[in-house]
Amino acid sequence: MKPSDRKQVGDLYGKVKRLGHSSKTIISVKVPIKWESMTERQRTRLSRITGRDTRVIRAFLGVIARREDELIVGKRKKRISGAKLEKLTLTAKRFKKESQRRLVVPHDFKERFPNISLNELQECRQVAVAMWQSYLELGGEPPLKSRGYKPHKLPRYVFNRRFKIVYTPKSEVKHWVELQDSLDSAQREGRLHDKLMIPLNPSSYHLNRLKEGRVTSLRFFKDSRRKWWVVFSVRVETAQKDSSHKPPAVLGIDLGINKAVCSVLLTQTRLRHVRYFTQPEKAKRIKKYDDLVSTLQREMDTHLNNGQPADGVVRKLRSLRGRRLRISVDHDRVLVKRLTDHIIELSEKYDLYVAIGKLTHIRRKAGRDSKKPKAFRALMARWSFARISDGLKHSLTRHGWKVKGRDSRFIPVLEYWTSKTCHKCGHIGIRPKQSLFICHTCGYRDNADKNGAINIARRLIKLIPRLRDETNGLGGWLLPREKERYPPKTWRSSRSKGKSSSSSKLSASRGRSVVECHIQAALESFDDTTDPAMEKTVETSSATIDAQKASDSSGNSVQRTEAQSAKRSEAPMNSDEACDEGPGAALVPVGDDCHGKGGTRKSKVLEGVHSPFLDS
């Protein structure tokens, strides 16, 4: 078989495999327990069950801590072997083969906890293994602390073979969880386990979520306000659709503060579907509660400084705790729902990829040590970008999207300099106001969030080889220097004296920015939407500088054209000519290449050019 034939067969097999592939997603449904409808015996038993499970889980964690070197497996040393832990803690006497029987183990949990069944011990073991693996992946302190012991109860997974949901339409409480428990088991020709009926108080939202898939497990826990909950794990299966026959497109999402989300769609021909998602009601309500909390805190400090009791003020602050968070979460859920509907609608027409801005170290840069104004720090504290990004990823997973690993359709992209970099020419512009971006090199001006969303989408195009293709992909959105394949980054060493071979290539390509802007201008169309804030800002902006004109020394305006700029950028210039001063010249500071004999720094002189981004 020829190599071309093998490739066609492989592509056909991959297409058939994708058509029949389905993804599985685990969603959590948190349902309150109807505590007032439980008897005293039921409450005591539920509390004893969770307390006993906590002791068993901590015992497993203690064994893992003592024998961590024996239990860690895998190349990355980030996984705990549950089989090895079982051989250390549980005996096995019912195997047919004598070699598989374990009559004696170093830590016999059946003897240590005689009133718990084997299935419950295995469930506690899985919880302990999951907790230790999270510690290995994320770092920090181990789950079992020798100091600062907290007696809070750990929730344990109860799998579906040991419980069932019961519906009784004629009784006052219609929804129950029937739990098989070994706390009060009896020995009658075997071991008979008692059943515990736990009443639930679900809403229609909870019931609809439970019907979406198959309930696999549940957990009981009590929150800080001593309210009991049961969390169901529901496995939802969704079929993944093949969209390779559709035209490619990338949706860039820029997360902002004034405008919560700005999304743009890059297609092969033009820019489409520019949308702004705002949350004015959320900002108004959160500011109201922030002002109220600040007032109460000042009042509490005044009482304490004067030696007066502040119990009443503290009670008011505690009553407001969590109210601000619930408001933010509710508005963000609505925003995620609107974004998901927009993405699903676009995926029906395009082979869609979603690129979202990935923000890092924002909280640290906007902390008290950053010396930023208090109003700015409060504004950054209200920014729930992580919740929106995680919620959107989870929502797309439920619709059959692949958001992790290879062939992912939802990819976070670093957001550094996306709002200040011109997507037409690649130069750094200015933002005289929050919603305005101006590029002095090519004259482009538009909403800063829109420009940032386009740059985020362009960065995703550069990452995926299939999208970089100019014929069948979206390579037309990339600048000429971005299409070139650069060698791997040269590591700086003592021999290179801090110089990199790739820096000269990048600096030499900046002179073609105006020509590249002319090529990119045919791709855009601004007839979709206009931001009303953008129009007001452009009209009233006092810091705007017209990029098409420059002033000479006599005060006469000099017209600058793209052809002149391209000709000037292509013409080589040596350092001697750059340091000569003449009439009608604009002064632009340059680097160390223009040092004269006396060692003083001079200025580069170019007639009719005011951009500080041209290289020597």
When pLDDT is averaged across residues 248-259 and rounded to a whole number, the result is: 88
Instruction: Output 145 or 86, whichever has higher pLDDT.
Output: 86
Instruction: Output 249 or 153, whichever has higher pLDDT.
Output: 249
Burial class (CB in 10 A: 0-12, 13-18, 19+), 522: exposed
Backbone angles phi, psi at 285, to 5 degrees: -70, -40
How are strands ordered across the β-sheet holding 163-167? 163-167, 175-187, 191-199
Q: How confident is the model at residue 150 (pLDDT cuts 50, 70, 90)?
A: low
Q: How confident is the model at residue 34 (pLDDT cuts 50, 70, 90)?
A: very high
Beta strands at 351-358 and 248-255: parallel, antiparallel or unpaired: parallel
Helix (H, G, I), strand (E, B) or coil at 311: helix
Helix (H, G, I), strand (E, B) or coil at 253: strand
Burial class (CB in 10 A: 0-12, 13-18, 19+), 252: buried
Residue located via tokens 């509390």: 47
Report how far apart, in Å, the C-alpha atoms of 462 and of each of 80, 218, 255, 407, 485 are.
38, 43, 21, 15, 11
For the chain, give every residue range classified as CATH 3.30.420.140.
243-293+332-486+509-540
| DSSP-derived secondary structure letter, 178 | E
The string of pLDDT tens digits covering residues 35-85 is 999 999 999 989 888 888 899 999 999 999 999 999 999 888 889 999 999
Say if residues 283 and 335 touch (Cβ distance below 8 Å). no
The string of pLDDT tens digits covering residues 526-561 is 334 444 444 443 434 333 444 443 344 344 444 444
> Quick check: 282 pLDDT over 90?
no
**How far apart are alpha carbons 335 and 329 in whole angstroms?**
10
Instruction: Give me 276's structure tokens.
Output: 């702004």
Report how far apart, in Å, the C-alpha atoms of 30 and of each of 79, 202, 213, 236 are.
29, 9, 15, 16
Instruction: Give me 264's structure tokens.
Output: 């743009």
Identity of residue 518: H
Instruction: Output 10 or 609, whichever has higher pLDDT.
Output: 10
Dihedral of the alpha carbons of 57, 62, 65, 67, in degrees to the nearest 10: -110
**How far apart are alpha carbons 209 and 236 in whole angstroms?**
10
Residue located via tokens 């200040």: 420
Q: How confident is the model at residue 185 (pLDDT cuts 50, 70, 90)?
A: low
A 10 A CB-CB count for 234 gives 18
What is the distance in angstroms between the CA of the first residue and the CA of the last residue of the chain? 56
pLDDT at 21: 56
**How far apart are alpha carbons 387 and 335 in whole angstroms?**
11
Over the chain, what is the mean pLDDT?
Answer: 74
Q: Which pTM does this prediction carry? A: 0.63
When pLDDT is averaged across residues 300-304 and rounded to a whole number, the result is: 91
**How far apart are alpha carbons 437 and 256 in whole angstroms?**
14
Helix (H, G, I), strand (E, B) or coil at 484: coil
Give CATH superfamily name and number for 243-293+332-486+509-540: YqgF/RNase H-like domain (3.30.420.140)
Which letter, b or e, does each residue of 142-151 get, where b requires 16 or more Cβ atoms within 10 Å of its Cβ? ebbeeeeeee
Q: How confident is the model at residue 95 (pLDDT cuts 50, 70, 90)?
A: confident
Give the percent of the chain with pLDDT over 90: 25
pLDDT at 552: 42
> Quick check: 12 pLDDT over 70?
no
